[in-house]
């Protein structure tokens, strides 16, 4: 058992917290600790807990693939507008580690607000498959 594990176990002894509450606190602590060591880049927390560098091109590919699956034509200008809108929202957020669920929410809002309702429908289906 590592020293850190011992410290954490000692910290939680006698606190009468549920397993879910402890797990939630540890998840928050993980983010806070990692953020203290980050550069000024943006990161994504995946559903499996892994943290990786934010890559807007991955999101762009997901949008394009969703549109393609729905046989919807998106030109370079459309994709550029969507990417710029997403970058603006992410910058306003001021978090350096965003959960994928938050990014998905941002993308869905942008698609709806920018009038890409058919792409939005396909995007939701496409993301569920992943």
- Class of residue 1 by CB neighbours under 10 A (exposed 0-12, middle 13-18, buried 19+): exposed
What pLDDT, on the 0 to 100 scale, is given for residue 40? 78
What pLDDT, on the 0 to 100 scale, is given for residue 101? 93
Backbone angles phi, psi at 44, to 5 degrees: -120, 135
What pLDDT, on the 0 to 100 scale, is given for residue 47? 87
- Tell me the pTM: 0.74
What pLDDT, on the 0 to 100 scale, is given for residue 14? 87
Residue with tokens 């580690």: 97
Beta strands in 3-117 (DSSP E): 43-45, 51-53, 97-99
Regions in the chain scoring below 70 on pLDDT = 130
What pLDDT, on the 0 to 100 scale, is given for residue 130? 65
Question: Are the CB atoms for 103 and 43 separated by under 8 Å?
Answer: no
Backbone angles phi, psi at 43, to 5 degrees: -125, 160
């Amino acid at each position: 058992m590592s020293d850190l594990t011992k410290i954490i176990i000692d910290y939680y002894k006698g606190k009468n917290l549920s397993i879910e509450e402890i797990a939630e606190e540890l998840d928050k602590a993980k983010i806070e600790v990692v953020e203290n060591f980050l550069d000024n880049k943006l990161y994504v927390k995946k559903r499996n807990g892994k943290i990786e560098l934010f890559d807007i091109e991955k999101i762009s590919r997901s949008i394009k693939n969703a549109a393609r699956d729905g046989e919807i034509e998106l030109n370079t200008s459309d994709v550029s507008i969507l990417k710029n809108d997403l970058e603006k929202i992410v910058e306003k957020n001021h978090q350096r580690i965003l959960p994928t669920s938050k990014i998905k929410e941002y993308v869905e809002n942008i698609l709806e607000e920018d009038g890409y309702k058919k792409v939005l429908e396909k995007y939701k289906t496409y993301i569920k498959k992943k």
